[in-house]
Amino acid sequence: MVMDLQWSPVLTDQLLAWSQEILLYQTEECEPLPTKLRPGCIRVSNRKALTVVAKLSDYPFPKVIDAYPGTDGEGMIALGLANGKVILSTFGTTVVSKEFVPKHTRQVNSLQWNRANPNFLAVGLDKARSDFAVSIWDVSLGSKYVNGYHSDVLRPKIELGISETANSVAWVQARSLLVGMNGKHIKLFDLRDSQPKLSSTATTKAVYGICVDNVCAHRVASFAENQVFVWDTRNFEKPFLILNHSKHVSKLGWCPTRAGLLACLEKDSSSLTLHDVNHAVMSTEEGEPAVLERRLTPAYPNELELADSTTVLSSFAWHPTEEHLITTATFNGVIWSSFVYERLTLNWSPTSILGWSDGKRTINFIDNTDDIYTSLDDISVKMKLRAKNGYGLKAQLRDNGNIVADDEDLKNLWTWLDFCKSLTEKEKHHLPSISTVTFPGAQTVLKMESNNGGGVTSTIKSEIINNSSFDLRNSKTYRSEERSFVQQLCGWSVESIHDLQGTPTRKAAIALFHLKLRLAIKILNESDNSIVAMAIAGFSDDQNSLWRELALAKFNQLSDPYIRAIFAFLTEADSNYETILHESELTVADRLGFACSFLPDAKLISFVQEISNDMIKKGNLYGILLTGMTPQSIPLLQRYLNLTADVQSVAVLAIRTMASDIASSAILKLWIERYRDLLDSWKLWDERAEFDILKNRNNPALIPQPEVTVSCNFCGKSISAPGVPGIGRSTQIFSRFITTDVKLKQTSCCPSCRKPLPRCSICLLHMGTILGSGTEQPVVDMYKIGACPEALSWYTWCQTCRHGGHTVHLQQWFRTQAECPVSGCTCKCINLDRVLEFPS
């Protein structure tokens, strides 16, 4: 059984708990659950355990106890007894060190050491006629308290409230005392003078359990029955807050490590109520002040058999220094420590760093180098790595695929784009439908166009071939330039079946779809599928043959989708080929290739449309085969983006394959902008610049105008070129009349007003003058610092004082000087511009 408990204010790893005897516990680290602890060790949390270090059995069931807060007390405690005696005692000795006895016997209701001045002990007693209710003792007076002798009775230093009851006492800082009196008032006494002065009184029934918020000393709480009152001692007439509880309150306690958090225990309750009064607004007009209320139920482990979440608590104690720690006790003696957590801030930075606060001072961070972050599979981490490797910037489309080799879909897409581009280059002159497209998909090749009714039409005309001479059976195939181009896009080519990618069964299936049964059997035979080969060899076109019956019954059970497709093809009766076209385990390319051979025009178009819609819905990148990199692919890529958040891939695909569409598509622009933002936030500025270069390569209109020009001091016009500056220059017809850089160097006056250009502050020659050779040797090898030799004769100037001269002259000057060469200018140019720092 535990009646009450208190953490030692000095030795903060010691806990006092008392009922019929007073126990002093020592905290120690322990093995986490579910490790069993050695006997005598009581677990109070996952990592902490208590052991009894001392015991005091002389005073059973003390009314109140307060541990001495001074550092010289050697674990001294003050006990208030039912007979009015106050005992000062230490552990380790059974001898009473000091005893304060009132004149009249009555119960001690409350006692408290003064935390600011540990010599003072305030004691609140029950009523006695012509005796005081409050006595304040000064333990430093008289003999030393641990003298081994008993009954060293002294007079109290101060006495208050004659013939009154003190329900509770509490110190406010060093020299003020709050006393709950007679069940009617809380009085605040000023004890600075030798004569105590009543400074203010609050009339209230809430005179019990007065406690002062140590962090914010004018805030005081007290209770009566089921109400908790919070007071501001500066404005003591009326309570600052009244907090109603459903049951009677038995104990209050302010959190000692944080302002405004009040713990409150109700009678017969298994949980504590925590009131956060910080947000309460001191105002009458704004309605009820906002008080956050939380309940804390100790989370006992299952191993603790004596207590669960319904066990009634007897008391609690805040830890004086450790943040958030509150220890609770139950009537059946279980002590358990819980943490009261603060609002935990949490922010995810644009640079993939997740930070959250841990207590008062510390912020924790995890970033993408942590294992836990890897387990998140955060695409931004992948994107950053890919960006660093130059994803999307490689000249060969195929090479970009190698950077995303960990994502097979993306890798295949880049490989296919490369293939598609070269194939289209080769064929675009034969096929009008792809003559303007770089990356056509099946939809483009087959000239599919949406009509107004939402359907799709196409103008392709295909040749029907009846393969009657074939050893398989009669089957119609269709052929057109467009169809065979689509098949090539699908990677189908009957001439080189052996070079095809994939398993032997895929090769066999494709051979068969080219109506080469013998070749298919041969391929299967050469791989370890000879049993299948044998089964196929027994093919019979007879609708009622035993082979067909058996094959139809069994082929669905085969695991290899291509063997299933082979049997589906051979047993197909009505040329609809639904089983093959909707075999989801076959690649889109193979299904499309098949459809191009065996479906009539109308069916082919609707099949392509159907499968495109399906791919778009799934955001499946293989759907690009159908849409090509045309505006039709945008919904598909958007869906892919929505699913994967991989804005990088869609942005680089946009600039690499849809450059001409960017200008007209807000979505493409958006992707590109978002990706540029990403690169910027990762400080991958070089990559961002390269990305911009690629983006603008096919679109000179996007290239920004020159941003900086040197203008003449006199007329304000640019001295560089009267014509159109920038990229257009070389294409101008009159380019030879325009001042080039070479000519500029020889010009020492403004081309507009013919006034001289500024002088070099060292050689006093005008800007644009050719430097004489021989005298000006470069001070450093300019190649080392990445500059070209011509740069030496260029005019340069300080960004701050705007004085300047020839680079080589300034270099020589600042080699020994820190100040500007212009007389009277005190600008420390070279210190301001560390970029020009010379290697030593």
Partner 1 sequence: MDRKQVLLDYVASYPDHQLSLLVASTTGSGIMSSSTAFTVATVDTGHEDMIHDAQMDFLGTKLATCSCDKTVRVFDVNINHGSQTFVAELKGHEGPVWQVAWAHPRYDTLLASCSYDRKVIIWKETTEIKPDGKKVVKWDASFVYEGHDSSVNSVCWAPPEWGLMLACGSSDSSITVLSYVNDRWVASKIPNAHTLGCNAVSWAPAQAPSFDKTNEVQPVKRFASGGCDNLVKIWREENDQWLEEVKLEGHSDWVRDVAWSPAAGLTRMKIASSSQDRRVIIWTNKESDGISWTPEPLHVFDDVVWHVSWNFVGDVLAVSGGDNQVSLWKKRETDSWECISDSSKSCIQNEQRTL
Between residue 681 and residue 720, which ones bind partner 1 under the rule CB under 8 A? 681, 683
Q: Are 589 and 491 in contact (CB under 8 A)?
A: yes
Least separation in angstroms between residue 50's CB and partner 1 is 15
| Tokens describing residue 820 | 């500007």
Residue placing its CB nearer to partner 1 in the complex, 553 or 818: 818
Residue placing its CB nearer to partner 1 in the complex, 44 or 719: 44
Could you say which of 40, 148, 344, 734 contacts partner 1 (CB under 8 A)? Answer: 344
817 counts as binding partner 1 under rule CB under 8 A = no
- What pairing do the DSSP bridges indicate for beta strands 476-479 and 463-466? antiparallel
| 350 Cβ contact partners less than 8 Å away, ≥ 6 residues apart | 681
Tokens 């071939």 identify what position?
Answer: 465
CA dihedral defined by 145, 149, 155, 159, rounded to 10 degrees? 60
State whether residue 118 is helix, strand or coil: coil
Residue placing its CB nearer to partner 1 in the complex, 221 or 641: 641
Residue placing its CB nearer to partner 1 in the complex, 35 or 731: 35
Tokens 């695991």 identify what position?
Answer: 559
57-86 residues in contact with partner 1 (CB under 8 A) are none
Least separation in angstroms between residue 279's CB and partner 1 is 7
Interface with partner 1 by CB under 8 A: which range of 370-378, 496-504, 543-551, 773-781?
370-378
Least Cα distance to 607 among 508, 506, 515, 486 occurs for 486
Residue placing its CB nearer to partner 1 in the complex, 565 or 658: 658
Distance CA 176, CA 191 (A): 6
Interface with partner 1 by CB under 8 A: which range of 132-140, 239-247, 389-397, 663-671?
663-671
Residue placing its CB nearer to partner 1 in the complex, 302 or 469: 302
Residue placing its CB nearer to partner 1 in the complex, 557 or 840: 840
Could you say which of 352, 462, 571, 597 contacts partner 1 (CB under 8 A)? Answer: 352
What's the Cα-to-Cα distance from 741 to each of 719, 747, 791, rounded to whole Å? Answer: 11, 10, 12
771 counts as binding partner 1 under rule CB under 8 A = no
Least separation in angstroms between residue 274's CB and partner 1 is 10
Residue placing its CB nearer to partner 1 in the complex, 249 or 354: 354
Least separation in angstroms between residue 481's CB and partner 1 is 32
735 counts as binding partner 1 under rule CB under 8 A = no
Q: Count residues near partner 1 (CB under 8 A).
A: 83
Least Cα distance to 628 among 653, 603, 664 occurs for 653
State whether residue 325 is helix, strand or coil: strand
Interface with partner 1 by CB under 8 A: which range of 196-204, 295-303, 589-597, 763-771?
295-303
Dihedral sign, CA of 687, 693, 699, 704?
positive
Distance CA 811, CA 782 (A): 11
State whether residue 447 is helix, strand or coil: coil
Least separation in angstroms between residue 291's CB and partner 1 is 12
419-438 residues in contact with partner 1 (CB under 8 A) are none
Q: Are 522 and 537 in contact (CB under 8 A)?
A: no
795 counts as binding partner 1 under rule CB under 8 A = no
Residue placing its CB nearer to partner 1 in the complex, 294 or 522: 294
Least separation in angstroms between residue 609's CB and partner 1 is 18
243-282 residues in contact with partner 1 (CB under 8 A) are 258-259, 278-279, 281
Least separation in angstroms between residue 26's CB and partner 1 is 16
Least separation in angstroms between residue 233's CB and partner 1 is 20
How would you class 222 by CB atoms within 10 Å of its CB: exposed for 0-12, middle for 13-18, buried for 19 or more? Answer: buried
223 counts as binding partner 1 under rule CB under 8 A = no
Distance CA 223, CA 220 (A): 10
| 69 Cβ contact partners less than 8 Å away, ≥ 6 residues apart | 9, 10, 113, 114, 115, 118
Interface with partner 1 by CB under 8 A: which range of 356-364, 482-490, 581-589, 787-795?
356-364
1-60 residues in contact with partner 1 (CB under 8 A) are 29, 32-33, 46-48
Least separation in angstroms between residue 840's CB and partner 1 is 17
Interface with partner 1 by CB under 8 A: which range of 18-26, 550-558, 566-574, 675-683?
675-683
85-124 residues in contact with partner 1 (CB under 8 A) are none
Least separation in angstroms between residue 344's CB and partner 1 is 4
Q: Are 672 and 662 in contact (CB under 8 A)?
A: yes
| 365 Cβ contact partners less than 8 Å away, ≥ 6 residues apart | 353, 354, 355
Dihedral sign, CA of 440, 443, 446, 450?
negative
Interface with partner 1 by CB under 8 A: which range of 364-372, 591-599, 758-766, 779-787?
364-372
For the chain, state the CA radius of gyration. 45
The binding track of 609-648 with respect to partner 1, each residue x by CB under 8 A or -, is -------------------------xx--x--xx--x-x-
Could you say which of 670, 694, 782, 801 contacts partner 1 (CB under 8 A)? Answer: 670
788 counts as binding partner 1 under rule CB under 8 A = no
818-837 residues in contact with partner 1 (CB under 8 A) are 818, 828, 831-832
Residue placing its CB nearer to partner 1 in the complex, 344 or 764: 344
Could you say which of 226, 357, 752, 793 contacts partner 1 (CB under 8 A)? Answer: 357
State whether residue 107 is helix, strand or coil: coil
User: What is the identity of the amino acid at 264?
Assistant: C
Note if the bond before 789 is cis, omega within 30 degrees: no
Distance CA 553, CA 564 (A): 12
306 counts as binding partner 1 under rule CB under 8 A = no
473 counts as binding partner 1 under rule CB under 8 A = no
Least separation in angstroms between residue 675's CB and partner 1 is 7
Euclidean distance between the first and the last CA atom of the chain, given in angstroms as a whole number = 78
The string of DSSP codes covering 138-175 is: ETTSSS-S-SS-S------SEEEEET--EEEEEEETTT
Distance CA 63, CA 19 (A): 9
371 counts as binding partner 1 under rule CB under 8 A = yes
The binding track of 388-417 with respect to partner 1, each residue x by CB under 8 A or -, is ------------------------------
Residue placing its CB nearer to partner 1 in the complex, 216 or 552: 216
| 108 Cβ contact partners less than 8 Å away, ≥ 6 residues apart | 63, 64, 80, 81, 82, 84, 85, 86, 123, 124, 125
Q: Check residue 576 and report its DSSP letter.
A: -
Could you say which of 369, 467, 699, 735 contacts partner 1 (CB under 8 A)? Answer: 369
Residue placing its CB nearer to partner 1 in the complex, 656 or 806: 656
| Tokens describing residue 115 | 């935390």
> Across the beta sheet with 158-162, what order do the strands follow?
108-113, 120-125, 132-138, 158-162
Least separation in angstroms between residue 683's CB and partner 1 is 6
125-144 residues in contact with partner 1 (CB under 8 A) are none
Residue placing its CB nearer to partner 1 in the complex, 126 or 646: 646
Helix, strand, coil percent values for the chain (each to nearest 5): 30, 25, 45
